Structure 1
Amino acid sequence: MNTRDWPIRAKLTALVIGPVTALLALWIFATTLTFGPALDLLAARTYLYDLGRPGETVVAELQQERRLSVVQLAGESTLPALAEQRGRTDRAIAELRRRVNGDDLRDAADELLDTRLDQLVSALDALPAGRGFIDARKLDRAGAIGLYSGMISSAFQAFSAMAAMPDHQLNREALALTALGRSRELLGQADALLAGALTAGRYADGEHEQLVRTIDNERFLAETAVADLPASERAGYQRLVESPDWVRLRALQDTLVRSRELPARLDVRAWETSRAGAWQSLRDFELRGADGLAERSVPMAVGILVRLAAAGVLGLLAIVVCVLVALRVGRSLARRLTGVRTAALEMAEDRLPDVVARLRRGEVVDVAKEAPELDHGGDEIGEVGRAFNEVRRTALQSAVDEVTLRRGLNEVFLNIARRSQGLVHRQLALLDRLERQTEDPDELAGLFQVDHLATRLRRHAEDLVILAGAAPGRGWRNPVAAVDVIRGAISEVESYDRVDVGDVQPAGLLGRAVGDVIHLLAELIENATAFSPPGSRVDVTGRTVPGGYAIEITDRGLGMSPQALTEANRRLSRSPEFDPADSARLGHFVVARLAARHGVRVELRVGTPAGTVAVVLVPADLVTAEPALAPAAPAGGATPDDRRMAKVTRLATVPRPRTARPGRERADSAVVPLSAGRTSAVENPADGDGLPRRVRRRGPANRPRAAVADAAPRSPEEVRRAMAALQAGTARGRRDGLRAAESGADPAGPVPPAPDRAAGATGPAPDRPTEPSPPEPSPAPQPPTATERDA
């Protein structure tokens, strides 16, 4: 039996139940052993009055009937006295049967006495048949004597079974009285033999020898029984045998023993008189002895019961005391151990997580207050309690240190991220100025690639900010079209040229969520391109659904196993704490953080026929109607949001740079050649889509050095006019494209996204308002810088 996993209360109960049960069993056993003899002593009166007296009466009546039956068999006629005697015998037997079948005698009788009583009843059942044989003279005198003597012997066997008292002296006295009764029975047998012989005038064959044996046995039993009687009883028996009847009876018995024939001078009347007197006196002696025996057994039984009651009460009291002490000690141990367990569980399940959560919220935690001293006593349990107090304080202090370390690590992440963001912003601003100033297509292609790398660096810097638990900082005041959000996310992906924008239903996203949604989509698109074959395409679509706006990103990769898909969806469904040990899942962690911030649901599904589909469900409270295109405004009066959206549109419509192979000139299908007299690298192409195109022209590197030196620098006003024309052309192109889409006409064709940073700008930290940075000081208005667009 394995008790290792039992509760402590069950173990203590088992320890208590074992000894108490053993003690209780011993108490019950001792009480039973003592109570049984007391009941036997009390049953002596029941034996005497329910079996002794009725049984002795039956024996006496059977003895008289036996004598008369032998006399009738010895004579020639029927004796009227025999019929009267049979009636008295039947009445005595009926009374004995009633007492034997009663509950009192049967309840008091043991197994041996029950058996002897059944044998007695069976022997008495043979009496009617024996009488029939006697009346029909089918039995001789010896057979009649044997019939009645057998029934009488069964009665004496029952009397012997009664003599089983716990007191040895009483038991010997009872056996002595039973032996005297047997000697009286032998006296009756001798009288029956002699009566038959006197009636017939002679002894039958063997009757004289039987008479001699009966007389000898009667005298032997009497002498043996008297030796076991008390002194007072022996004195009374001695006076009894010295009476005239007994003296005359002994003399007549001696005469009968010496003579083998019936004495001619035998005084029959003297024999009958002395025999009847001796028989009656012996019977009275037996009855007085039985009554005295029953009377002496009652006080003895009461004394035994009193001692038994005292011992039983004391034993029961000892058991109760043991049980109470065991329960008290066991309950105390269980309560104290339960207290230690409760304190441990409370610390592990409630207090320690609460302290960690409060520490992460920035609250100050007092370790001494959170881990107070608990007194569990001075014994071994108290030592365990004190050890647990130390463990609890150490655990809390470790939690404080861990959270402090994690908070410091987050601060390091945030500090590094903010520094990186600042550097990236400055780099983007520098690149933006270089892109505006560069007219050579090869140099512009290189700048676009560096610009795209910087954009990805900005996203990775934002990853550090998210890991640190802060907001990335990019944001818009006005809603942004869903298609622009998708294009902005694509522009932050390394393999942007493998991403296809499919059917995107018109919708807009509130400005406060645009930056985070762009970052979220960029992470998912990055995963789609990284875990799919290099030559495959990634499709991005958007549609309005009842719960908001759903954006689906589908790749053609090998997909994920069901277990991995379930685990990934579990991580994406909640905002987990950053675990540095799980650095392979940083993308999912960032997505989960961004999704939890705005209530966005992200779910990965199995693609058809292969691959993985990432479904991003933007809630309805973040979705609005697609914003209308505002008319072009002069650069000097454009709002920061206008300048940002202009940057978004321009970055989404700039052609992809293509690296020229050796021996071939770099070319772009979307490039429109410049006329000879143009001095700007931007013009409205003839295809009518309204979008400005940067066209190839002879760069400064291909001009003669003199021409470059002689070229007059542009004034700030000329630069302002060029940027205003670019913004106006961009807005006009978008309006024409929307009109063509609404009328079902085919627009000028899809324009691939630029390898640039996200649509939108990186704004300041969340604790600073989103405002454009002041332009660089100049005598004239300047075009919007990267700081104005990205801050």
Structure 2
Amino acid sequence: MENKDDPGKAYDKSIRKRLTRTVLIPSITLLVLWAVLATAFFINGLYVRLVAGSVRDVSIPALTALSSLQQERQLALQYLDSPSSGPQQLQQQEQDSDGKLKGLQEAFAATISSAPDEIASKVTALKAQLDQLPVLRSQVNFRSINRAQVNTYYNGVLDSAATLFDTQARIVPDATAVQGAISATSLFRAGDLMSRETSLVSAAFSGSTFAPDDFVQFSQLVGYYRTQLAQISPFLEPAVRQHYQQLSTSDAWKRLNAAEDSLIKHGPWTSGDQNNVPVSAGDWHALTAQVAQGLNQLTIEQADQVSTAAIDSGNAQLRNAIIGSIVALLASLAAIIVAVRVSRSLVDRTLMTRLERLRNDSLDLARNRLPNIVGRLKSGDPVDIEAELPKLDHGRDEIGQVAEAFNTAQLTAVNAAASEAKARSGVHNVFLGIAHRNQVLVHRQLQILDEMESREENSTQLASLFQLDHLAARARRTTENLIILGGKQPGRRWRKPVSLMEVLRAAVSETEQYSRVQVEQVPDVAIVGTAVADTIHLVAELVDNATSFSPPGSQVEVTSRMVARGVVVDVSDQGLGMKEGVREWANAMMADAPEFDAMALRADSSLGLFVVARLASRLGITVTFDPSRYGGTRATVLIPSNHLANANAPEPLAEAPALAQVGAPAPESAAQRPAPEAPQPAPRPYPARPLPTPDPRTAEPYPPSAGQIPDVPAAPRAAEPDLSELEGDDRPRLPRRQPQQNLVAQLHDDPDAAEADVTNAGETTARTLMAFHKGTRRARGGQNDS
């Protein structure tokens, strides 16, 4: 998962991209502001058009339908107050109202889905009241409702319509349109007030009685609508204001005002006093109908002009927003292009050229010169650092300071590499010196043991000496491991080829638990003398590893066969095997041997596998690990054909080695030596290179059973070579020992089985020890001469 808080992520982009981004930030900010403002203007224009369109589509049909409802209200009140009058005129008005309300319902359905929520809620409330109109009409026809209920219903419908108009007026985001729409709403309210007063007086004429309560309400309505008209007239649209002045100066207007004043002066009346009323019913109906029609027309005209002006305003805002947006966009794009071109020119001319030159110079030093210098330092060659490490000169500005810092860093790195090479050379010298000293001591120890074995006649003591001899041989292999780690070769050498069987037996004899190893199916082939020592060492390490990581009672099989590219040696154990990741790591190590420096950095350096990898790399031998048929691990060693010789004339393994240096150890015996101690776990390998580092086995090495000290077995006999063929062997041959020749009398008797197990004595044991002794002496035949 990426770490977003990593400070290094901020420097992943190139300088050109980062500078371009810096230049683009203000330009992009300008574009964002342009987008926000343009969107705001565009949305505002659309909103104005939407509201203005809803006003035009809803208000005008609504005014026509509401005017018809006002007439219906007046006739309904007259019908209720005059039982003798018929319903024909009222029914005609209801049909006229239904036709106009149908158009209003269609307008509602077309606009309510796109109308703002404030308008939609008011439209819904008005539709709900209009849906109750058929019920009210039925009650009026049957005279099952009174005048107050009729007034309440119709007045409620008209008040809801006025609220809708007022909401439409105030929601328009344009001050001029809002003022005109409010004036239209006020004009509608004034006309409705006049319609209400007309209904009261018409009902009074029909009922021949003008009740005091109705008279008071009439007087208030007259004052309300006159005041309303006087207040809104200055804010009407010019053409509407002109038409209002014409209406207010007309004869009908004046006569209506006079009639209203006379009725107010007369006051309430009853049926007996109706003849004294100053206005007749006919004149009243004619005057109010004419003036109401004029006011309704003024309201429709005002609403139409206001909505038209609002739509024009919305269109103008949209047009201005589009034109302004295009201009602002072009200006922003031009500014961005100019800024990017200027920044690119600045970067390319002043920064990128110098930075690329600094990069090329630095890469040349890092990839070519520094590796060459460091490699020469590691190999010990003299290096003049000041002369061979040129300084980078890129001026004195910031780029030059970076170059100077790089000069300092590379000089420090080279000096550190030189110091490390000196220290490593000293450590290697000490390391190899100690290893060679130990090798001389072990070699001397083996010589002394040979002499003691040749003089010893007691079989028990001889077995102990053979065990010491075997441990000394294993110590010699460990010493040779140290020499291999130091980059040198052990002193054991053969000049003539040695048969593969002898090589494998010698490798097995150098392992701790040799008695568990079975060598079989060995082809008749020989290994050239120059590869014998390293091959023995390589196979011995693999066999030792196999015995250490398999159950104590199991066998380790060593088989070989000829293939097209050479000879293959398989070492198979019966342990738990390697895990998949560990096996891949081990095979990677065999394919590419790591440096010992890297291995030394780990607490557990996988010494055995590392030695195998170094030896395989030196000889060109291929070593691979895979599962064995027993579930354990099988190590496959491919010895190439260039290390094979004619098997008809192989050199016996006991041929004297050509020692590379004084005091170097001689080759180990081809026979197996007894192991007096329990097998110890081999060190767990760790990779020296960046490979997975799990344990090389799935389980710890199997410990031998308690008190396991293997009986001295009959060691595998090598072919008895002619000792006279040993190179440089001018000493007399050792005397050949006869079985039981010098044994005491008690040993000639046959001891019981328990005693034989405890003393490890007897004729069989003696013969076995002598055979083993002969083999080890043949294996070290050349050492005794040195």
Question: Which band: TM-score by shorter chain?
Answer: 0.5 to 0.7
Residue 277 (1) aligns with residue 290 (2) = yes
> What residue identity is the alignment partner of 1:69?
A
Give the Cα–Cα distance (whole angstroms) in 2 for the partners of residues 355 and 551 of structure 1. 41
- How far the C-alpha of 1:101 sits from its partner, in A, is 0.5
Q: Which of these residues, 76, 80, 83, is aligned with residue 91 of structure 2?
A: 83
Q: Which of these residues, 388, 400, 409, is aligned with residue 391 of structure 1?
A: 409
> Match of 1:202?
209
Give the Cα–Cα distance (whole angstroms) in 2 for the partners of residues 404 and 624 of structure 1. 42
> Match of 1:288?
301
> Match of 2:5?
4
> Match of 1:510?
527
> Match of 1:188?
195
Question: What is the root-mean-square deviation of aligned Cα atoms in Å?
Answer: 6.8
Give the Cα–Cα distance (whole angstroms) in 1 for the partners of residues 670 and 167 of structure 2. 122
Q: Which of these residues, 573, 595, 604, is aligned with residue 577 of structure 1?
A: 595
Give the Cα–Cα distance (whole angstroms) in 1 for the partners of residues 286 and 627 of structure 2. 128
Residue 249 and residue 299 in structure 1: after superposition, are their counterparts in 2 closer, same or farther (change >3 A)? same
Q: Which of these residues, 37, 53, 67, is aligned with residue 46 of structure 1?
A: 53
Matches within 5 A, 1:395-406: 395=413, 398-399=416-417, 402=420, 406=424
Q: Which of these residues, 636, 639, 645, is aligned with residue 619 of structure 1?
A: 639
- How far the C-alpha of 1:126 sits from its partner, in A, is 1.7
Residue 231 and residue 524 in structure 1: after superposition, are their counterparts in 2 closer, same or farther (change >3 A)? closer
Matches within 5 A, 1:200-599: 200-204=207-211, 206-229=213-236, 237-259=244-266, 260-261=268-269, 262=274, 263-309=276-322, 312-313=325-326, 387=405, 390-392=408-410, 394-395=412-413, 398-399=416-417, 402=420, 406=424, 466-467=484-485, 469-472=487-490, 475-482=493-500, 485=503, 509-511=526-528, 512-518=530-536, 544=560, 548=567, 575-579=593-597, 589-598=610-619, 599=621
- How far the C-alpha of 1:723 sits from its partner, in A, is 6.1
Residue 477 and residue 244 in structure 1: after superposition, are their counterparts in 2 closer, same or farther (change >3 A)? same
- How far the C-alpha of 1:752 sits from its partner, in A, is 0.5
> What residue identity is the alignment partner of 2:527?
L
Q: Which of these residues, 50, 64, 71, is aligned with residue 64 of structure 1?
A: 71
Give the Cα–Cα distance (whole angstroms) in 1 for the partners of residues 483 and 165 of structure 2. 110
Give the Cα–Cα distance (whole angstroms) in 2 for the partners of residues 650 and 314 of structure 1. 96
> Do the aligned residues in 2 keep the contact of 1:413 with 1:467 (CA within 8 Å)?
no
> Do the aligned residues in 1 keep the contact of 2:473 with 2:668 (CA within 8 Å)?
no
> Do the aligned residues in 2 keep the contact of 1:374 with 1:389 (CA within 8 Å)?
no
> Do the aligned residues in 2 keep the contact of 1:508 with 1:626 (CA within 8 Å)?
yes
- How far the C-alpha of 1:163 sits from its partner, in A, is 0.8
> Do the aligned residues in 2 keep the contact of 1:187 with 1:215 (CA within 8 Å)?
yes
> Do the aligned residues in 1 keep the contact of 2:494 with 2:656 (CA within 8 Å)?
no
Residue 391 and residue 92 in structure 1: after superposition, are their counterparts in 2 closer, same or farther (change >3 A)? same
Matches within 5 A, 1:702-713: none
> What residue identity is the alignment partner of 1:182?
R
Residue 759 and residue 530 in structure 1: after superposition, are their counterparts in 2 closer, same or farther (change >3 A)? farther
> Do the aligned residues in 1 keep the contact of 2:63 with 2:296 (CA within 8 Å)?
no
Residue 115 and residue 759 in structure 1: after superposition, are their counterparts in 2 closer, same or farther (change >3 A)? same
> What residue identity is the alignment partner of 2:157?
M
Residue 389 and residue 67 in structure 1: after superposition, are their counterparts in 2 closer, same or farther (change >3 A)? farther
Residue 463 and residue 300 in structure 1: after superposition, are their counterparts in 2 closer, same or farther (change >3 A)? closer
> What residue identity is the alignment partner of 1:510?
I
> Match of 2:119?
113
- How far the C-alpha of 1:166 sits from its partner, in A, is 2.1
> Do the aligned residues in 2 keep the contact of 1:212 with 1:257 (CA within 8 Å)?
yes
Residue 751 and residue 468 in structure 1: after superposition, are their counterparts in 2 closer, same or farther (change >3 A)? closer
> Do the aligned residues in 1 keep the contact of 2:126 with 2:161 (CA within 8 Å)?
yes
> Do the aligned residues in 2 keep the contact of 1:490 with 1:758 (CA within 8 Å)?
no
Deviations 1:563-609 (A, max 9, x none): 9x999998778633233668987776555433433317498999x9x
> Do the aligned residues in 1 keep the contact of 2:506 with 2:668 (CA within 8 Å)?
no
TM-score, normalised with respect to structure 1: 0.60
- How far the C-alpha of 1:9 sits from its partner, in A, is 6.2
Give the Cα–Cα distance (whole angstroms) in 1 for the partners of residues 495 and 260 of structure 2. 148
Give the Cα–Cα distance (whole angstroms) in 2 for the partners of residues 384 and 628 of structure 1. 69
> What secondary structure is seen at the aligned counterpart in 2 of 1:619?
strand
> What residue identity is the alignment partner of 2:639?
P
> What secondary structure is seen at the aligned counterpart in 1 of 2:112?
helix
> Match of 1:166?
173
> Do the aligned residues in 2 keep the contact of 1:486 with 1:521 (CA within 8 Å)?
yes
Q: How many residues align?
A: 647
Give the Cα–Cα distance (whole angstroms) in 1 for the partners of residues 238 and 546 of structure 2. 122
Q: Which of these residues, 92, 99, 103, is aligned with residue 95 of structure 1?
A: 103
Residue 529 and residue 205 in structure 1: after superposition, are their counterparts in 2 closer, same or farther (change >3 A)? closer
Give the Cα–Cα distance (whole angstroms) in 2 for the partners of residues 500 and 35 of structure 1. 94
- How far the C-alpha of 1:55 sits from its partner, in A, is 0.8
Residue 308 and residue 593 in structure 1: after superposition, are their counterparts in 2 closer, same or farther (change >3 A)? same
- How far the C-alpha of 1:252 sits from its partner, in A, is 0.6
> Match of 2:771?
750
Q: Which ranges of structure 2 fall in alignment gaps of 5 or more residues?
A: 457-464, 659-665, 675-718, 738-766
> Do the aligned residues in 1 keep the contact of 2:519 with 2:557 (CA within 8 Å)?
yes
Deviations 1:641-700 (A, max 9, x none): 98879xx999999x99xxxxxxxxxxxxxxxxxxxxxxxxxxxxxxxx999999xxxxxx
- How far the C-alpha of 1:326 sits from its partner, in A, is 10
> Do the aligned residues in 2 keep the contact of 1:489 with 1:758 (CA within 8 Å)?
no
Residue 99 and residue 298 in structure 1: after superposition, are their counterparts in 2 closer, same or farther (change >3 A)? closer
Deviations 1:388-407 (A, max 9, x none): 56535644664466457757
- How far the C-alpha of 1:94 sits from its partner, in A, is 0.6
> What secondary structure is seen at the aligned counterpart in 2 of 1:224?
helix
Give the Cα–Cα distance (whole angstroms) in 1 for the partners of residues 175 and 78 of structure 2. 43
Give the Cα–Cα distance (whole angstroms) in 2 for the partners of residues 107 and 377 of structure 1. 72
- How far the C-alpha of 1:112 sits from its partner, in A, is 1.8
Give the Cα–Cα distance (whole angstroms) in 2 for the partners of residues 196 and 613 of structure 1. 118
> What residue identity is the alignment partner of 1:72?
Y
Q: Which of these residues, 108, 125, 132, is aligned with residue 126 of structure 1?
A: 132
Residue 248 and residue 329 in structure 1: after superposition, are their counterparts in 2 closer, same or farther (change >3 A)? same
Deviations 1:53-105 (A, max 9, x none): 21111012112222223333324131433332222111101111111101xx2
Give the Cα–Cα distance (whole angstroms) in 1 for the partners of residues 556 and 91 of structure 2. 131
> What residue identity is the alignment partner of 1:514?
V
Residue 173 and residue 525 in structure 1: after superposition, are their counterparts in 2 closer, same or farther (change >3 A)? closer
Matches within 5 A, 1:713-728: none
- How far the C-alpha of 1:275 sits from its partner, in A, is 2.4
> Do the aligned residues in 2 keep the contact of 1:31 with 1:308 (CA within 8 Å)?
yes
> Do the aligned residues in 1 keep the contact of 2:60 with 2:303 (CA within 8 Å)?
no
- How far the C-alpha of 1:194 sits from its partner, in A, is 1.7
Give the Cα–Cα distance (whole angstroms) in 2 for the partners of residues 10 and 650 of structure 1. 62
Residue 135 and residue 407 in structure 1: after superposition, are their counterparts in 2 closer, same or farther (change >3 A)? same
Residue 11 and residue 133 in structure 1: after superposition, are their counterparts in 2 closer, same or farther (change >3 A)? farther
> What secondary structure is seen at the aligned counterpart in 2 of 1:752?
helix
